[in-house]
Structure 1
Amino acid sequence: MNGRRLALMQILDSRKKYTARELAERFGVSLRTIQRDLDYLQSIGMPLYTEVGAGGGYRALPNRLMPPLQLNQSEALGLFMLLRLLEVIPDFPYGEIRSHLADHYYGSLPPDTKEQIDRIGDHLAFIHRGAEIPAPYTTLILKAAMEKRQLSFDYSTSGGMKITQAFPLGLYYEQGFWYVPAWRGERTLLYRADRMHNACKLDATLPELPTLKAWMKQEDLRERVQVSLAFTPFGARLAQSDPDFEGMADDRWEGRIPLQELPFFARKLLRFGPEARVLQPPTLRSLVAGLFCQAAEQYASDEDDKP
């Protein structure tokens, strides 16, 4: 595609309407030449809408082809690696063709760049070890958040399935799961997208609903307690892979945890076994000790286990 046709595609992509004469004058070419350019853009899949008569002209329709990227080789290699990385994130929004997108992009590259990609592929891999639990409504959730629309969905809880209606602020991906902060009633609750079923958008809107970005910047005003932990050297290495223990120094970690999250935090510490010890607060130490006692009881000798 020559530079004029690329510029023409970008101009039409602005969603404004132009007559063929306006476009011809803008590029300093004849009407016949600009018409050939428009015919070419339509032939490669750019959907153009034509209005005839006074006030008519050309404009691009939704779902049109986007202008091609102008990348150097390093940028092209980086983009291809990024596409491959996105393939390992389950249920990525608007990901209907992501399994084929990298292959389509690869096919459009020049031979020397393809050769570079093939060589990189021998030395680079992206491995996702998160739970493969389907979260098929990520695109719908994102659309509802952008439109500030209410969602209705069945939500899987420990007590069974519950019909829920809430306004999603957006969604974010963390440690293998998609999370959905959503306004329900008088507060924002956090849902797991993989636990949402039969989701659909409702007509109700909430114009004052904050964005996910604004929500994440809000100060957490929940009551907190100071937590101090001591790890063994091995436990410290295990904890380094967990973002909740960021800022560890000398095999010790300190932080402030919301009071209502202490039971969840206790279960999180359970996986470290004897490699972690709660120094403060006593409440958390008791919670962890209780969980260890429950675990030990499951393995205690029982008359039914005797031959």
Structure 2
Amino acid sequence: MNKAQRLIQLIMLVNERKTFTIQELADECGVSRRTMIRDLMGLSELGVPLYSQPGPGGGYRVLRDKVLPPILFTEHEATALFLAGQSLMNYRQLPFDNEVNSALHKFYHYLPKELKQKIDYMQQKIVFWVPPHQLELPHLKGLLDAALEPHPVQIIYEASQRKERIIHPIGLYTMNGLWYCQAYCELAQDHRVFRVDRVQELVDLPQKDDVETTKLTENENIRPWIMRMDETDTLKLEVHLTAEGVRRCQSELWLSSSIQTFEDGSGLIRRSISPSYQSWAVHFFLGLGAEANVCQPAGLRSLIQEKLQQMLKFYQN
């Protein structure tokens, strides 16, 4: 094995463990202790941040983030990865700070000149547009950390009311430029979706082994919870739409698949929704004006009528 191959293998080895000794790595790579010392010095020169601790219980460890070995990409793979990274650029805030900019800069820097020109040209033809929001998300990373290393957090959540809650985050997802956190809420004693920009305060709480919901979130996946409906606790939504109402609802991901369109362009929505989405649905369908007529559920229809009466007071004089 030549030196380049050994260094690649060495990067993978040091990434796999928290601490290691020179002799352990030398034995694993089948080289002398002196050669291993030279190879570790070579890693340091390449920018791998190694930290040594002397003494009987000492050794080496990677000081900061782990470093990936060199990876070979085809031209199409490199283009796809670069554009995938670019698709995140329009988000004002991400849970991993500026790592996207740093990764794209490194990736682009080492591309061949011809591929750089191809990507530059392609960026003039393809845009991954995300609606711009100026909402602050100071607790985006805190919620992600609580989902990755499961532990409860205490939040102040401000929607229609300002409430203190203890939640157990399962994961995050983004839709239409907004970030959402799926979590188990101790106050509601059920799963809920929280808009991340509405989390005003967040305090990490210690893991409570005696709380069953805390253990539950460790093995849960965010994907099944996106717009998930419990069949025992749903409301039947029925909305009649004009042709313009159909067009506007088709831009809403969670409604578009439920629209039945007729020959004259009008349409009908029939689907199940969670009771927790009623407040959102009131404002959404009111925003469609006369283009949508909510027929069911009766509770949602009543909430829309109440909101209309409140609005009417503003315009009576």
TM-score using structure 2 length: 0.79
Amino acid at match of 2:116: K
- C-alpha distance in structure 2 between counterparts of 1:39 and 1:297, whole Å: 76
Larger radius of gyration: 1
- C-alpha distance in structure 2 between counterparts of 1:106 and 1:39, whole Å: 27
1:24-51 CA distance string (max 9 Å, x none): 5655656554433221111122133446
Q: Which runs of 5+ in 1 are unaligned?
A: 303-307
Amino acid at match of 2:172: L
Q: Which runs of 5+ in 2 are unaligned?
A: 262-266
Relative to structure 1, the CA distance from residue 113 to residue 156 in structure 2 (aligned partners, 3 Å threshold; closer, same or farther) is: same
Relative to structure 1, the CA distance from residue 285 to residue 195 in structure 2 (aligned partners, 3 Å threshold; closer, same or farther) is: closer
Structure 1 vs Structure 2: percent identity of aligned residues? 28
* RMSD between aligned residues: 3.2
Relative to structure 1, the CA distance from residue 167 to residue 278 in structure 2 (aligned partners, 3 Å threshold; closer, same or farther) is: closer
- Which residue pairs with 1:305 in the alignment? none
The structural deviation recorded for 1:165 is 3.4
Residue pair 1:222, 1:258 contacting (<8 A) in 2 also: no
Aligned: 1:183 with 2:190: no
The structural deviation recorded for 1:147 is 2.5
The structural deviation recorded for 1:293 is 4.8
Alignment map for 1:1-307 (pairs within 5 Å): 2-15=4-17, 20=22, 23=25, 27=29, 32-50=34-52, 58-159=60-161, 161-180=162-181, 181-185=183-187, 186-206=189-209, 207-211=214-218, 212-213=220-221, 216=225, 220-221=230-231, 223-245=233-255, 246-250=257-261, 251-259=267-275, 261-300=277-316, 302=317
Residue pair 2:131, 2:176 contacting (<8 A) in 1 also: no
Residue pair 2:11, 2:67 contacting (<8 A) in 1 also: no
TM-score using structure 1 length: 0.81
1:128-154 CA distance string (max 9 Å, x none): 214320112221211122322232333
Relative to structure 1, the CA distance from residue 198 to residue 234 in structure 2 (aligned partners, 3 Å threshold; closer, same or farther) is: closer
Residue pair 2:90, 2:132 contacting (<8 A) in 1 also: no
Relative to structure 1, the CA distance from residue 167 to residue 96 in structure 2 (aligned partners, 3 Å threshold; closer, same or farther) is: same
Q: Which has the larger displacement, 214-223 or 34-43?
A: 214-223
Residue pair 2:92, 2:133 contacting (<8 A) in 1 also: no
How many residue pairs get matched? 300
